[in-house]
A and B are shown apart, each in its own frame.
Chain A
Amino acid sequence: MDDGLRNELSKQGVVVVKLEELYNWGRKNSVWPLSFGLACCAIEMMAASMARYDLARFGAEVFRPSPRQADLMIVAGTVTKKMAPQVVRLYNQMPEPKYVIAMGACAISGGPFKQGYNVLKGIDRYIPVDVHIPGCPPRPEALIHAFMTLQRKIDAQKVFGPDRAHYFDASKPSEFPVPLFGEHDLVPPKNPNVWEPAVVVR
């Protein structure tokens, strides 16, 4: 159906949408985040869901304490090497489709604590991250922007066809191996299926 006919029908009060659009519209407006705060950014995450910033406008105010009921994990804060296995385990426990926002400099790269011996240098070494928000901590507006970015991503995901979203494909992994604390560091130090550092040619 072309857009002209659709517009004509909508003027008559008939709304025609594709099933895919309806499905994505419902999903993007009811993203339930996991209530999972790690450090300072968690306070701004809470502030975003409170009175002034009101994340409920975007359908994302339902913070679930259980990963089984959550669609979105906001990694809000420094991930230490002691905490990283739990973060990956929580990600594995979430049902598909699931999304991850890396909030703040620490979750992206280790941030100001990158030189520390106990800080993971970015959670995207172990789990796939959809949206990165820089900042230390990012303002609640930045988190809302990340939500809107994620909503656009959800809206663009295909349900049918060869390029449909990865979670329809049973052969694609939805769980990732949990790193263990080895003798000196986390083993393995990264998940190559998720994170491959760019090779700098000198």
Chain B
Amino acid sequence: MTAPVDTSDPKQLGADTDGTQFMTFHDLAYDAGKTVFQRKAQPVGQGREGELLEVAMGPQHPSTHGVFRMDVVLDGETVVKLKPVFGYLHRNHEKIAENTSYLGSMPYTDRLDYFCSLTNNWAYALSVEKLAGLQVPERAEYIRLITAELTRVLNHTCLAGFLLQDMGALGTPLMYAFREREKILDLIESLTGARMMCNYMRFGGCRCDLPAGWLDEAKKVVAEYPKFLDEFDALLSGNEILMARTQGVGKLSAELAISAGITGPMLRASGVDYDLRKVDNYGLYSRYPFRVPLGSHGDVYDRYMIRMLEMRESLKILEPALKDIPEGPVVDPKAKLRGFRPKPGEAYGRIESPKGELGFYLISDGSPNPYRYRVRPPSLINLTILEDMCLGQTVADAIVTLGSVDIVLGEVDR
């Protein structure tokens, strides 16, 4: 019973860009003196070819987060080969968008990553604004920032619940997560009129202004959220079972993560300091100081902890932003809703969605609908290295690893 994790110097982990943005959670759990189970890598598949078992997990499986299939080759309980099969939810998003107007595909972006429809809206609006050269009023930028961070909190809360459900904690963490999700959904619903499919952003602003009293409600939710996070941390983050199930599982090295194009919390869990909110400085993120949590081991536990810490950083952005929001118009008066025809050209807009870099690539030929419309889905690209993370581990660990990737099949298959 020795701890398999090494406590290396956190300063070596990643490029510390501006000296203050660095954060590590080494002393939170790893060095707390907890015992974790030693995992031994087992030699697999040597001379036992006839004994391998091929299992198709999914598309109907309680732990595959939707209609995803993993074709797994097993030696006993060890994964020897893993082939992800997607396409069970291919809904022709890109093709439909190429045949409809620019604004007409805004509701379809809601259904990409159906947990975070507001960030999807923002990414699409951002790329169209780039294409058409539209300006966004300051109040609208504030609303976008606030809704995007609320969405990030919402997504990470739900992910923690789902991850724990994959580990066998049936119900309890997910119940707590959904209880908190409803509070944020109430805010989103009173703002946009829909719980999940918001369809809220417009090119050059937002669809409607905040309703009366919304900011006070939001402040209340934001002020109470750290209490829930403390509760969740006390329940889960130091939990011995969670640490035994997740530490050293599904390791991803920083080199592989970078070369595979992984983005978002998965990349940062491997210790790479890359957050588009800092890199691109889109929106108003440069006005609010926040730290980017970084992992050091790239395992499932790091990915879980990154999300827990990111929620706290999001709340740190939300708190002052809700106070600073100015009065003013929420949509650029020069932006046209009808007859919207951007000049020929191309644009790529990207934001840091809760799952990673979400980008929209648009080519305009001057007609009312895009000539080419391409989504860069973070879920799909983060999923491509699933086999590298799962080889040599047990099936139960493969499930947990998949859960930590944070996929949403609407975005993977589109």
A residues at B contact (CB < 8 Å): 35-40, 42-44, 46-47, 50-52, 65, 67, 77-78, 80, 82-83, 86, 90, 112-113, 115-119, 136-137, 139
Q: Is the CB of A118 within 8 A of B178?
A: no
Q: Is the CB of A37 within 8 A of B181?
A: no
Expressed in whole angstroms, the minimum distance between the Cβ of B137 and any Cβ of chain A is 29
For residue B197, which residues in chain A have a CB less than 8 angstroms away from its CB? 40, 136-137
A36 to B195, alpha carbons, bound, how many Å?
Answer: 21
Interface centre among B91, B108, B175, B410 (most CB of A within 10 A): B91
Q: Is the CB of A50 within 8 A of B175?
A: yes
Interface centre among B59, B90, B96, B182 (most CB of A within 10 A): B90
Q: Is the CB of B175 within 8 A of A35?
A: no
A-binding segment of B15-23, B60-68, B397-405: B60-68
Which positions 35-91 of chain B face chain A at CB distance < 8 Å?
59-62, 66-67, 87-91
Expressed in whole angstroms, the minimum distance between the Cβ of B111 and any Cβ of chain A is 6
Q: Is the CB of B175 within 8 A of A40?
A: no
Q: Is the CB of B59 within 8 A of A40?
A: no
Q: Provided the pairs A35-B62, A112-B108 are in contact, do residues A50 and B92 lie with their beta carbons within 8 angstroms? A: no
Q: Is the CB of A39 within 8 A of B89?
A: yes
For residue B174, which residues in chain A have a CB less than 8 angstroms away from its CB? 46, 50
A77 to B99, alpha carbons, bound, how many Å?
Answer: 23
Size of B's binding interface in residues, CB under 8 A? 32
Q: Is the CB of A47 within 8 A of B178?
A: yes
B residues at A contact (CB < 8 Å): 59-62, 66-67, 87-92, 95-96, 99, 107-108, 111, 114-115, 174-176, 178-179, 181-182, 195-197, 409-410
For residue B111, which residues in chain A have a CB less than 8 angstroms away from its CB? 39-40, 112
Q: Is the CB of A80 within 8 A of B196?
A: no
Which one of B88, B89, B96, B182 lies within 8 Å of A115 (CB-CB)?
B96
Q: Is the CB of B60 within 8 A of A42?
A: no
- SS class of chain B's interface: helix, strand, loop or mixed? loop
What residue of chain A has the Cβ atom nearest to residue B66's Cβ?
A37
Q: Is the CB of A116 within 8 A of B195?
A: no
A43 to B114, alpha carbons, bound, how many Å?
Answer: 8
A37 to B107, alpha carbons, bound, how many Å?
Answer: 21
A37 to B67, alpha carbons, bound, how many Å?
Answer: 7
Q: Is the CB of A113 within 8 A of B96?
A: yes
Expressed in whole angstroms, the minimum distance between the Cβ of A134 and any Cβ of chain B is 14
Q: Provided the pairs A38-B67, A39-B410, A137-B197 are in contact, do residues A117 and B178 lie with their beta carbons within 8 angstroms? A: no
For residue A86, which residues in chain B have a CB less than 8 angstroms away from its CB? 59-60, 88
A36 to B114, alpha carbons, bound, how many Å?
Answer: 17
What residue of chain B has the Cβ atom nearest to residue A106's Cβ?
B91
Q: Is the CB of A46 within 8 A of B178?
A: yes
